[in-house]
Amino acid sequence: NYVTDRSYFFFNFVNCYESGEHIIVDMLTYDGPEVMDSMWVEKLKSSGSDFYGESSTSRLMRFVLPLNYMEQGIDLNFGQWNEATAIRSNDMINIRPKIITPEYGMESPKINPHFNFRRYGYTYVVGWIHGL
């Protein structure tokens, strides 16, 4: 069983692939479901802070899920993915993702389809600049 360090809300996966004894899951995450509030037609028609509020803070995150490791209390990712950690406590593995980009506010991720389910280097997203 896997559990994250805190709750995340998401719409889209970027990509998932296997790397050795790990599954890599990249996705755009939000801090909570408040992004749904900005989907009301009135807000979509508006501009500025009515639409681009706190809810538009998506980030690209990498979750690394170790497979076949039974050690307790150590990082089962062995520092291989920098900040992405996974620590087993009894039957649960607590995972903390790596923030891939420091920028906020993006959606509709795409990669080259030839790299689906494989290691990849680039993600294309639709982003927005606040205040324009």
CA 51 to each of CA 6, 8, 26, 37: distance values in angstroms, whole numbers, following the listed order: 26, 21, 26, 9
The per-residue pLDDT for 122 is 94
Q: Provide the sign of the torsion angle of the four alpha carbons 72, 76, 79, 84, taken in this order.
A: negative
Average pLDDT over residues 13-17: 96
Q: Which residues contact 41 (CB under 8 A, 6 or more apart)?
A: none
Residue-wise pLDDT for 62-105, tens only, equals: 999 999 888 889 888 888 888 899 999 998 999 999 999 888 88
Report d(CA 60, CA 99) in Å as an integer. Answer: 6
